[in-house]
Structure 1
Amino acid sequence: MDKRTPRLGDVQETLLIPLYARAVETRKPRGMLRDPRAVEMVDALDYDFSRFDGAKSLLGANLRTLLFDLWVRDFLERHPSGTVVEIGTGLNTRFERLDNGTVHWFDLDLPDVIALRRGFFEDTDRRRMIAASVTDPGWMEEVRSSSPGPYFLAAEAVLIYLEEELVRSVFRQIAERLPGARLALETAASRMVDTQDSHDVLAKVAARMRWSCDDPGALEHWQPGLSLTDSRTLAHLPAPVARRLAFHYRVLLRVMATIRRRDIEAYRFNLFRFPAE
């Protein structure tokens, strides 16, 4: 079978990292997650995934995926017919894991990514792809005009690659156009951004993090009424996620939280809620 060659921009190429992480984990006898679609997509792409082999960050990518899954699942338990938007969807398969039969779902990414994604996924009555930048407010208008709230926005490994002013602009646009929305995103402290050239995965790609955030709580001052409702590190994950980890990984993360606390604290997963109208 002929393989597809992903032709992606520098930042867009990073979508292949969490894809590979899920495929590697799925191939394990007792992996923390199962994603057979990820395995199929990795096998169908003409790309040197071996450059990521052995990277500890693959573990972190999967834990981030599981945590975001948990947050979306909790949202859908409260709002079964709500709307989820995957910002920077890449080749994610969260819909396949969490679809409850009533959720409205949008997969948002840049045109080159959506072109690649359409080789593996199709639009349906409740799930649609949008080719646009997260910084373009047009996608918010499209979501709001065609799908009811409340809204959950999952920005997994996206906003850290933007300059801070662009991130602030995204927050302003969400507050104006999708009031009451929840937003999940990760933040990287300045020490992590400053040392990313030696990162075990980022050193292998051209993309670079641009936005550093030492205190996610400070973002509450960006918008009146914006609240940080949860913030986690890899060493302090909710029990449903932590239980997925093999025992030796749980021990390793606890040890790192003690002897390398600043490094652990430098990378956080955050859940914000915007004020309602």
Structure 2
Amino acid sequence: MAGQTVRLGVAQETLMIPLYGRAVESRKPEGEAVLRDPAAEAMVEAIDYDFSRFDGGPSLAGTVMRTNLFDHWVRTFLAENPDATVVEIGTGLNTRYERTDNGRAHWFELDLPDVIELRRTFFTDSPRRRMLAASVLDDDWTAAPQAQGGPYFLAAEAVLGYLPEEDVRRAIGMLAERFPGALLALDTTGPGMVDTQDSHDALSKVEAKLRWNCPDPRVLEEWHPGNRLLASHTFTTMPAEIRDKLPAQYQEMIANMTQQQLPQVEDYRLNLLRLG
């Protein structure tokens, strides 16, 4: 029975979309699921929220494909840097630690106080895993991961698009100054999605609005000296090592999206940035 009451800010409510996406995916039969996330299933069962508003559209599958790519980047990074530090920016109710932790890395999970309060009903801090209640724009939250030491992988999944561009620039500049050389995974949204969000199958069901319009993520290289865009993918241009392992249903969906060349698909990008 659902029962955990949720009181979240407007932007924070969007965390329910990827949470539900992972739970729905995790319930699929063997061979049809991109990932397994029993923790997401349990949280959806425990939270008093109308998740059914997100049923029926393709965006749940999109959130799973995005998470799967971010997971791949984290696993690759930790394979090369097993004692590294991972920082989840706008962690929501993400469970990347459960899916990708190697038993040695240190994790910091950052989000606004109301989200962390909710998160603490499901997760607890440990010697290698710590929650931080702050905005990415706050000046002091970086002290804890800086004290732990790098190298660093920073993941900002479905977060920065809800900020105005000046705040995104400020955030990325601060991250580059505090964590030089770190990898930053982030998604960017162009006009095809920003301009149509009121009819979007998931975003139209919440009050939050995408604010940062980024048609070309190569602009991120200009925002701080030394920034370098290492990868930028749409759902139709996933790396072969990811695309080839997707279930048949996803392969068919990507083929259909490739044929249709929808602007809201083609200008939504998943990026890996080396901070200067």
TM-based fold match above 0.5: yes
Query: Secondary structure, in 3 states, of the residue corresponding to 2:171?
Result: helix
**CA distance in 2: counterparts of 1:248 and 1:50, whole angstroms:** 22
Look up the equivalent residue of 2:159 and give its one-letter code.
V
Q: Deviations over 1:68-116 (max 9, x none)?
A: 0000111101110000000011111100111111101001000000000
Other-structure match for 1:82: 84
Look up the equivalent residue of 1:66 and give its one-letter code.
N
Instruction: Provide the TM-score with structure 1 as the length reference.
Output: 0.96
Other-structure match for 2:7: 7
Q: Deviations over 1:38-90 (max 9, x none)?
A: 11000000000010111200000000000000001111011100000000111
Task: Report 1:49-60 matches (<5 A).
Answer: 49-60=51-62
Against the structure 1 CA distance between its residues 2 and 164, is the aligned structure 2 distance closer, same or farther, given a 3 Å change threshold?
closer
1:265 aligns with 2:253: no
Q: Work out the percentage of aligned pairs sharing the same amino acid.
A: 58
Unaligned runs of 5+ in 1: none
Contact 1:226–1:273 (CA under 8 A) maintained in structure 2: yes
**CA distance in 1: counterparts of 2:231 and 2:123, whole angstroms:** 32
**CA distance in 1: counterparts of 2:218 and 2:246, whole angstroms:** 28
Contact 1:82–1:151 (CA under 8 A) maintained in structure 2: yes
**CA distance in 2: counterparts of 1:3 and 1:84, whole angstroms:** 32
Look up the equivalent residue of 2:47 and give its one-letter code.
L
**CA distance in 2: counterparts of 1:26 and 1:218, whole angstroms:** 36
- How many residue pairs were aligned? 274
4+ residue segments displaced more than 3 Å: none
1:123 aligns with 2:119: no
Query: Secondary structure, in 3 states, of the residue corresponding to 1:15?
Result: helix
Q: CA deviation at 1:6?
A: 1.0
Q: CA deviation at 1:261?
A: 4.8
Q: CA deviation at 1:244?
A: 4.1
**CA distance in 2: counterparts of 1:60 and 1:255, whole angstroms:** 14
Other-structure match for 1:229: 230
Unaligned runs of 5+ in 2: none
Instruction: Provide the TM-score with structure 2 as the length reference.
Output: 0.96
Q: Deviations over 1:207-233 (max 9, x none)?
A: 000000000012101111100000001
Task: Report 1:80-229 matches (<5 A).
Answer: 80-145=82-147, 147-229=148-230
Q: Deviations over 1:163-211 (max 9, x none)?
A: 0000000111112111111100000002210111010000000000000
Contact 1:257–1:264 (CA under 8 A) maintained in structure 2: no
Contact 2:164–2:212 (CA under 8 A) maintained in structure 1: yes
**CA distance in 2: counterparts of 1:117 and 1:106, whole angstroms:** 13
**CA distance in 2: counterparts of 1:204 and 1:91, whole angstroms:** 19
Contact 2:176–2:224 (CA under 8 A) maintained in structure 1: yes
Aligned CA RMSD, in angstroms, stands at 1.3
Query: Secondary structure, in 3 states, of the residue corresponding to 1:129?
Result: strand
Q: CA deviation at 1:246?
A: 2.6
1:21 aligns with 2:21: yes
Q: CA deviation at 1:3?
A: 1.2
